[in-house]
Amino acid sequence: MLAYVARRFVYAIPIVLSVALVCFLLVHITPGDPLVAVLPADASQELAAQLRTAYGFDRPLPVQFGLWLWKAIHGDLGNSIATGRPVLSEVLRAVSNTVTLAIAAAAIGFTLGLFFGLLAGYFRDTWIDKVATSIAIAGVSLPHYWLGMVLVIIFSVQLNWLPAVGAGPGGSGEWKWNWEHMSYLVLPAITTSVIPMGIVTRTVRALTGDILSQDFVEALRAKGLQEWHVFRHVIKNAAPTALAVMGLQLGYMLGGSILIETVFSWPGSGLLLNSAIFQRDLPLLQGTILVLALFFVFLNLMVDIAQASIDPRIKRS
């Protein structure tokens, strides 16, 4: 097992480096000068040149990448052009809010997804299956940002039960575990949970169906095992793949939160990304994407390891 873990970590190194390279190059595919955002419209040529030297934009690209990477490894992602504060601390603060949201959404989405998926797989081609698959397909087809708007219309505008935007009373970003704060989490979490719910349902349904049609299930039943014990075998066989899908979905929720956070003004990494894009704050844009992508790579690594630890077949291959 330890050898497997070590090997997975070594494999991740080139991926991490290429992710860093992509994030670095992002800034350089931007049309125009990366300094456009900071330079006043009437800036002189000398001032522009001075700033270019100060930010190191006048050096050759590979040198810039090397320097940027070296700093990034030491936790220095530069300073935000808009606020002047260190990018890393801005990103980490925002990411913690996104993690809160993603975990709440995962709790809802995965529970429902597993429930519907097992139900649909077990009662294949019955009305239960049809209802569950319809919910799942609606879940994966919903434009989630629109669902967020509709939920706000129903529960905030019409019924006035839940707050429409923000992450706490008075717009404070501080998270506390009480209902006043939790009420802000309800709508964004439900909105975020819809896609993973649909995908987990579809995956688990297909898995359950496949497993139930295998010979060993028939053998178990022929042996006289009660349905409950057969069910345990189904769970055991479905777990590795279901786990992988859920891990991936958690990663998507963390990395793809920008639309939902924009709808709900949730102060997470997505909202930060949004403001970085529109203020053309390139160091912040670069840093946020880098942190989120590394998070995703790390999560995938953890999923691989978890999968291998419950399924011995994976380690061997």
Q: Which residues bind another protein (CB under 8 A)?
A: 14-15, 18-19, 22-23, 26-27, 29-31, 137-138, 140-147, 149-150, 152-153, 157-158, 251-252, 254-256, 258-259, 262-263, 273-274, 276-278, 285, 289, 292-293, 296-297, 300
Phi/psi at 59 (5° precision): -85, 165
The sign of the CA dihedral 171, 282, 287, 80 is negative
Looking at the Cβ atoms of 18 and 226, the one nearer to another protein is 18
- Tell me if 136 sits within 8 A of 116, measured CB to CB: yes
Looking at the Cβ atoms of 18 and 83, the one nearer to another protein is 18
Enter the tokens of residue 94. Answer: 């925002």
3-state secondary structure 143-197: CHHHHHHHHHHHHHHHCCCCCCCCCCHHHCCCCCCCHHHHHHHHHHHHHHHHHHH
Closest CB 18 distance from another protein, rounded Å: 4
Closest CB 276 distance from another protein, rounded Å: 8
Angle, helices 127-141 vs 179-212, to 10°: value is 130
Closest CB 26 distance from another protein, rounded Å: 5
Q: How far is CA 51 from the centre of its chain?
A: 35
Closest CB 302 distance from another protein, rounded Å: 14
Paired residues of 79 in beta bridges: 86
Closest CB 200 distance from another protein, rounded Å: 16
The SS3 call for residue 238 is helix
Q: Within a 10 A sphere around the Cβ of 184, how many other Cβ atoms?
A: 21
Name residue 213's amino acid: S
Closest CB 252 distance from another protein, rounded Å: 5
Closest CB 120 distance from another protein, rounded Å: 14
Contacts by residues 57-62 (CB-CB < 8 Å, ≥ 24 positions apart): 57/33, 61/28
Looking at the Cβ atoms of 19 and 162, the one nearer to another protein is 19
- Tell me if 294 sits within 8 A of 19, measured CB to CB: yes
